[in-house]
Amino acid sequence: MPSENSHPNPEKANLRSTAMNRVITRFVDFFYWKPFRFIPIETFRYAVLGGLNLLLGMVLYWFCYNYVVQGFVASDLPPKEERVVDFGFVAVSAPIMAFLITFVITFFTGFWLARYVTFKKSTVHGGKQLFRYAQIVAINVLVNYFGLKLLVEVCNFYPSPSYAVIQVVTVVVSYLGQRYYTFRTHRQS
């Protein structure tokens, strides 16, 4: 007898998710033309979907920095004045606050795409995948945090281009970590 909280038909509960997985996979695979055939399909999917998630992150970062976070700070400050979001117990600079908002959204979209579309043949259990994914992402958070601090606050570069530059490093770290640690498909010798 199923419990009160469980869905009476688990197959129907996962039907939408499974259909969405297939649609996304077919869409990405449609672009897997002959010039790309030297790249393993898993790597190709990771590159395309990771690129789309990265693009989503950049657009969200720009939007959050320019429209969401700016609403929390005094608008009468001169353009070069340091903008800070003050929560009372901690003050966060505007570039870091925009990153944190973006991070929450792209963490879950990235995990879902990696687990259900890119690395669906992984032999690692789902809960372990999420924990390992979080570990790799934590490394990338540190790279983002210290990279933004360095480029924006020390070198005085603009936040959005700085964020884009930092993403090049995090993409490489992320791919290697997700492929060979989080979503591995067999035991590494």
Report whether 164 contacts 54 (CB < 8 A): no
Q: Which two tokens stand for residue 109?
A: 């979209």
Q: Mean pLDDT for the chain?
A: 82
- Cβ-proximal residues to 99 (8 Å cutoff; 6+ apart), any chain: 61, 144, 145, 148, 163
Maximal CA-CA distance, the chain: 65
Reply yes or no on whether the pLDDT at 24 is more than 70: yes
- What does the pLDDT average to over 28-50? 88
**Alpha-carbon torsion, ordered 28, 29, 30, 32, to 10 deg:** 110
Q: Which position has the higher pLDDT, 50 or 189? A: 50
Percent of the chain with pLDDT over 90: 33
Q: What is the pLDDT of residues 92-112, one digit of tens each?
A: 888 888 888 998 999 999 999
- What does the pLDDT average to over 30-49? 88
Q: What is the pTM of this model?
A: 0.70
Q: What is the pLDDT of residues 140-181, one digit of tens each?
A: 889 988 999 999 999 999 988 998 899 888 888 888 899 889
Indicate the residue type of 150. Answer: L
Q: Is 26 exposed, middle or buried (0-12, 13-18, 19+ CB in 10 A)?
A: exposed
71 pLDDT tier (thresholds 50, 70, 90): low
- pLDDT at site 65: 87
Nearest Cα neighbor of 120 from 19, 31, 45, 40 is 45
Q: Which two tokens stand for residue 125?
A: 């259990």
Sign of the CA dihedral running 7, 8, 14, 19: negative
CA 73 to chain centre: 26
Q: How far apart are the first and last CA of the chain?
A: 44
188: number of Cβ within 10 Å: 7
Q: With left for phi above 0 and alpha for psi between -120 and 50, is residue 124 left, alpha or beta?
A: beta
78 pLDDT tier (thresholds 50, 70, 90): low
Report whether 29 contacts 117 (CB < 8 A): no
- pLDDT at site 6: 45
